[in-house]
Structure 1
Amino acid sequence: MEHRAVDITAFDQAQIGIDRERFLGMVVRVLNSTLEDTVGSRETSGFINLVGLAISEEIEAEYLRAAGTSRLDLKATIGALIDLKRRLGGDFYVIEETAERIVLGNRRCPFGDLAKDSPSMCMVTSHVFGHMVAESQGYGRVTLADTIARGAHGCRIVIDLDPDAPDDGGQAYFGKADA
């Protein structure tokens, strides 16, 4: 290949698809796949759980501060989950809402095409949702029934609030005991 001097200002107008959001998404995807390749998917899931817990605590604190309360009720928690994903670029909506179960749908993945290369990134959503619901309700089991990352046209996320509800392979989350 021939080497030639390039005017660096030529990149100013070039169609290069990298911005801060895409760069951070690439970092997360590569970290995730490197972890899976290095330590395996089970250990990676445990690591992502810890990351999800730390992130959800920060996010929950923001919503508690905005609501001016120490605990969100169920409606406010659902509103916070949908608002969070909207802020991140998702398109989440309520399919079902009862005292025992929340079912959320999503038409657009916040991680975009990056999630298709790394479906385990959906676990971040599971952990953030699960921890936030558990903190407000005491318990939540999140089942990623359908995900865009696994090839579905949309996501369907089932959050059971009753620990005795039938388990379709979800992840259980428990709130911290009140001091």
Structure 2
Amino acid sequence: MTNCKPVKLAEVPLEPEAFVRDVLASLTENLERVVGIESARGFIHLVGQQIGLKVDESYKRSLGVAQFTPAQLAEVLVDLKDRIGGGFSIESVSDSSITLVNNRCPFGERVLGRTSLCMMTSNVFGLIAAESFGEASVGLEETIAGGATGCRVVVHFGKSVEGEDRYFKLDEADRP
């Protein structure tokens, strides 16, 4: 260790946020490899459900509302993703659905090929919508993880759409 600069001066690319993203991407990659994509989606569903409930409660408490209107829901979902490094924007809002587009994934390039990570978006969006409208479904029409240049996400609320991931308002007994 002679002629070695102090460890504190080592140029090691470690930052807290990047480290957590690397850990999550590695966990996801290993889950997909060991248990398969569908089982990995199931595990990520549980995490997304817990995060979705916390986020939903935080926004409702801060905004002083018991339920979101469709326009508020769209703004909340965009704001949420902006706060964690996403690049979402509103394409359209109606009485029964919202469509969001995204040009930057919060997981960065670590998401490429890890489509089960998209379950975080689906679950958080779906759970927040279901908590206000009773039922929701989320269609991930395009995803960066799947190789597209951006994401296109449609959230239907008050009903579910066949073929999309479905979500329901949780009973008190079902809450973590």
Alignment of 1:15-30 (within 5 A): 16-30=12-26
Which runs of 5 or more residues in structure 2 are unaligned?
A: none
Identity of aligned residues (%): 35
- How much does 1:76 deviate? 1.7
For residues 14-65 of structure 1, what are the alpha-carbon distances to aligned partners after superposition, in whole Å with 9 as ceiling and x for unaligned?
A: 3x43211110001101111222222222221111111100011111111011
SS in 1 for 2:145: helix
Note closer, same or farther for the CA distance 1:78–1:91 as it changes in structure 2 (3 Å cut): same
Q: Distance in 2 between matches of 1:33 and 1:62?
A: 30
AA aligned to 1:10 is: L
Residue of structure 2 aligned with 1:157, choices 147, 150, 153: 153
TM-score, with length taken from structure 2: 0.88
Which position in structure 2 is the counterpart of 1:119?
A: 115
AA aligned to 2:90 is: V
Which position in structure 2 is the counterpart of 1:172?
A: 166
* Alignment RMSD (CA, Å): 2.1
- How much does 1:117 deviate? 4.3
Note closer, same or farther for the CA distance 1:41–1:175 as it changes in structure 2 (3 Å cut): same
Which moved further from structure 2: 33-42 or 99-108? 33-42
TM-score, with length taken from structure 1: 0.87
Note closer, same or farther for the CA distance 1:75–1:178 as it changes in structure 2 (3 Å cut): farther
Which position in structure 1 is the counterpart of 2:35?
A: 39
Which structure's CA Rg is the greater one? 1
Q: How many residues align?
A: 172
